[in-house]
Chain A
């Protein structure tokens, strides 16, 4: 598949997730149970991107020792829990990552 075809299909499926409910749904079709489950989608999917990017190295093998990403991610998580700020979480993670690889 060409890159453009890939982009267009991804756009199409994304648009459908937005349009389908607005166009088709009657409110009653969406019960509280389904709403509740859907509210967990970010918590269920984002870790699948987060964890491998932190714990696996370039060759996709475990890197538990001497891995600045783990420490930086823990710091970012702690800052995130206390600040509840998206931007503070990102910047504290990046800052501690750079501090570890450039300073220490």
Chain B
């Protein structure tokens, strides 16, 4: 069995390539948060407390559009509902741990750490294999906090003319690169996008993100069922 430290380091090394896109993402978040009116301390607090890139940018987007707190909070919850899946998948590897470890690991259960550690957890049966997830999560944490901080500082120096807010839809577009080739995903993407765009002005409380998301999921439910019936 490898030592705890070795497994932790393995997690850091394995997740490192996935950190490259996190850097511009964190910078953009820091810059935008200041731009839409959060203080530097609040911006830093958001990265520390929420620690979820996509949902933090959704928060900014809805906040700047004047959405109510309830809509913002439930949209953040909706965006992050994918973590339910991650938790369910990794829980079998963590079931023997003390509650305090579960509390700590939950904080680090983010996209990249899940993506990279899930494979390791499956292949490895060592008692301390969860240190891999901690190593990967901690790496993301350091990168996310430091790039947020840099973004806050750089924010003032970046001219508005650059239109950096366009980086937001681009970032989300980029997060879907692996879905563009899958038929059902493409349909779901188009359905959700159309509902959000057409409903933007008509769905009350700026709840368009939730309504579009649920419509998209509903479409996924029907399509996956149809594909199964045809098989």
Contact = CB atoms under 8 A, between A and B. Distances in A.
Range, interface on chain B: 35 or more
A44 B102 contact: no
B141 interface: no
B184 to A, nearest CB: 7
Given A44-B213, A46-B175, A14 B51 contact: yes
B81 A41 contact: yes
A22 B87 contact: yes
Interface stretch (B4-12, B68-76, B149-157): B68-76
Interface in B31-70: 38-39, 42, 45-46, 49-52, 54-55, 57-59, 61, 63, 69
A50 B173 contact: yes
A14 B74 CA distance: 10
B228 to A, nearest CB: 10
Contacts of B38: 3
Given A13-B80, A45-B209, A53 B169 contact: yes
Contacts of A23: 99, 102, 106
B106 A35 contact: no
Nearest to B103: A19
A49 B197 CA distance: 9
A37 to B, nearest CB: 6
A56 B177 contact: no
A43 B185 CA distance: 6
Interface in A47-104: 47-56, 60, 69, 72-73, 76-77, 80-81, 83-87, 89-90, 93-94, 97-98, 101
Nearest to B52: A14
A47 B77 contact: no
Chain B CB within 10 A, most for which of A20, A36, A49: A49
B13 interface: no
Contacts of B92: 27
Chain A interface SS verdict (over half)? helix
Range, interface on chain A: 35 or more
Nearest to A59: B201
B220 A21 contact: no
Interface of B: 20-21, 24, 38-39, 42, 45-46, 49-52, 54-55, 57-59, 61, 63, 69, 72-74, 76-92, 94, 99, 102-103, 105-107, 109, 162-163, 165-181, 184-185, 188-190, 192-197, 200-201, 208-209, 212-217, 219-221, 224
Given A18-B83, A46-B173, A50-B193, 17 more contacts: A3-B39, A11-B51, A17-B84, A18-B80, A18-B87, A18-B106, A21-B88, A23-B106, A44-B212, A55-B197, A56-B197, A73-B173, A77-B180, A81-B181, A87-B24, A90-B171, A101-B163
